[in-house]
Structure 1
Amino acid sequence: MKKIIVVLSIVIILLSCKSETKDNGKLNVVTTTTMITDLVKNIGGDSVNVQGLMGSGVDPHLYKASEGDVSKLVNADIIFYNGLHLEGKLVEVFEKMGSATKTPIALADQIDKTTLIGSDYFASNYDPHVWFDINYYKQFAQKVTAILSEKDKENASKYEENKSNYVARLEELQNKVKQIIETLPKEKRVLVTAHDAFNYFGKAYGFEVVGLQGLSTATEAGVQDVQKLATFIIDKQIKAIFVESSVPKRTIEALQAAVKSKGHNVEIGGTLYSDALGTTGTVEGTYIGMFEYNVNTIVNALK
């Protein structure tokens, strides 16, 4: 609580002395998650300066703004974030900024709520991991393009062209993913991971998805949760379970040990990228590369 008060105080001070100048005459855009950072870079191209707050392996559920982050946010022309309480600990900072000089843009706000996956256990009552449905990510692309074009009309045609090219690549990804998944028998499409990040993926591609933790990594799995899921794995004869890059692997290792204690074996099929992309500069450091990598990892391990 003390840190939150300090951060909010910094917000107020910096807002009072915010500079209106743009670096190199370009829009200054700040993003939260790596998925949104990659999206804005693809659409903004060399017409915007993009600063992402979160890096590879960072858990957005638990992320807290530093003083440096607040300075970036205050001096941004546009702020894009996921919403649906994904960035739970940044909400108070965003609310303070929204009541001052700007309103950060929650990209998930434009999604038809009747199509979202609900939850009785998460603060927003909706699963926030919407980027695992590529159709929702394409909606993010539309919103980013509209906001950039509104703020920078001079480069609107560039943003629109970049968006069209990127959406075409996303559609290619959808076709490729579908072909890969079709090689996995339907009865083997059971995905067990550290937390419930893949429900939209499961809904889109016909997987039963089970997470050891809830929708937020702020919740922890208890002994009963581990034992219950171990029994599920044995009953379903699941071949592999998966670690997540932004969640400590000890939870999945505990699950593997629980299965073994019951006289059965289950492999750890690999590490999936869930709440963050891979390292910048790698294939998995892009949304498209991450998605294809995840699908290949899942299908190869479950076959």
Structure 2
Amino acid sequence: MKKSILIIAFFSLIFGCKNEKKASGKLQIVTTTTMITDLVKNIGGDVVDIKGLMGSGVDPHLYKASEGDVTKLANADIIFYNGLHLEGKLVEVFEKMKNKKTIAIADALDKNTLIGSEYFASNFDPHIWFNIDYWLQAGAFVSQTLEAELPEQAETFRKNWENYKAQLITLKAEITKTIEALPKEQRILVTAHDAFNYFGKSFNFEVVGLQGISTATEAGVQDVQKLAAFIIEHKVRAIFVESSVPKRTIEALQAAVKSKNHDVAIGGTLYSDALGTAGTVEGTYIGMFKYNVKTIVEALKASND
């Protein structure tokens, strides 16, 4: 019932307003995840007005639009979202917005290069931000979209993108150097769900998630026991909590390992489906990536020294 009310309210707002830009002339943009919000802010700069739907610690797999979100979406000139059914609960809303400019940044990527997933209707793993090369492609796509929408500010968007592009290239080089300090046989990353497969593919980590790729799937007792056996067999000494997934899932896994007379440490909390708190270093894509890699490498090195 609530879902129907939100959809009705959404269309009432769309047809009841002209959706004009504010008197400032700024482009009105709505973004879904915190990663996309950060990307668009770095490219759009001060000439756009950005409203992000999701905040720190929010799980996009389970996120549902509020009445306030409906208002933001109705008043937007452009809506940037991830796509590949990451925002599963918002798909129906986006599909009904035929007269709104909705942009899935995943459309910038060659689908033949993506990791397959049986958990999503798109049949692809949607956690594309953990491949920095993909994020570079997404950034170029966002810049081109903004340039076309607001031609008078095209030069600003291009300059902002070139600056941020250089930062992303530097980020990849720094992360690669940090990871090289960790022997390949120790690169086993066990987390709450499989958000890190693109990261693993990029940096030669074996990634195992307790809940699979989507947090909408529940981990059962057999899943916990199976992963506990894997941890023991491969002598994995550190596992990781995710900021957007309840800690109890990893604590249950740790308990299962200990019940078999083995120890496994919780190596820290990683940012997976959302950035850290706004205004902090981890509240940016670059800061999040550096923090995650530092946490992973230090925990796995310390536990295997």
Is 1:243 matched with 2:275? no
Other structure's SS at 1:225 match: helix
- Superposition map of 1:1-303 within 5 A: 2-23=1-22, 24-97=24-97, 99=98, 101-303=99-301
* TM-score of the superposed pair, with normalisation by structure 2: 0.97
How far is 1:12 from its partner?
Answer: 1.3
Give 2:239's aligned amino acid: I
Other structure's SS at 1:271 match: strand
**8 Å CA contact 2:33, 2:55 repeated in 1:** yes
Separation in structure 2 between the aligned mates of residue 58 and residue 164 of structure 1, nearest angstrom: 30
Separation in structure 2 between the aligned mates of residue 119 and residue 133 of structure 1, nearest angstrom: 16
Give 1:17's aligned amino acid: G
How far is 1:208 from its partner?
Answer: 0.2
- 1:146-202 Cα offsets, whole Å, 9 max, x none, are 111111000000000000000000000000000000000000000000000000000
**8 Å CA contact 1:7, 1:93 repeated in 2:** no
**8 Å CA contact 1:57, 1:276 repeated in 2:** yes
Q: RMSD between aligned alpha carbons?
A: 0.8
Give 2:2's aligned amino acid: K
Give 1:252's aligned amino acid: I
Give 1:3's aligned amino acid: K
* Structure 1: tracts of 5 or more residues without a match: none
Give 1:87's aligned amino acid: E
Separation in structure 1 between the aligned mates of residue 89 and residue 196 of structure 2, nearest angstrom: 22
Give 1:230's aligned amino acid: A
How far is 1:214 from its partner?
Answer: 1.3
Deviates more, 1:122-131 or 1:165-174: 122-131
* Structure 2: tracts of 5 or more residues without a match: none
Separation in structure 2 between the aligned mates of residue 73 and residue 27 of structure 1, nearest angstrom: 13
Other structure's SS at 2:252 match: helix
Separation in structure 2 between the aligned mates of residue 48 and residue 12 of structure 1, nearest angstrom: 24
Give 1:40's aligned amino acid: V
Other structure's SS at 2:101 match: coil
How far is 1:123 from its partner?
Answer: 2.5
Give 2:169's aligned amino acid: E
Other structure's SS at 1:50 match: strand
Separation in structure 1 between the aligned mates of residue 38 and residue 118 of structure 2, nearest angstrom: 31
Other structure's SS at 1:131 match: helix
Matched residues, number: 300
**8 Å CA contact 1:80, 1:105 repeated in 2:** yes
Give 1:69's aligned amino acid: D
Deviates more, 1:119-128 or 1:160-169: 119-128
Separation in structure 1 between the aligned mates of residue 34 and residue 158 of structure 2, nearest angstrom: 22
Give 2:230's aligned amino acid: F
Give 1:48's aligned amino acid: V
Identity rate, percent: 69
How far is 1:5 from its partner?
Answer: 1.2
Give 1:200's aligned amino acid: Y
Other structure's SS at 2:251 match: helix
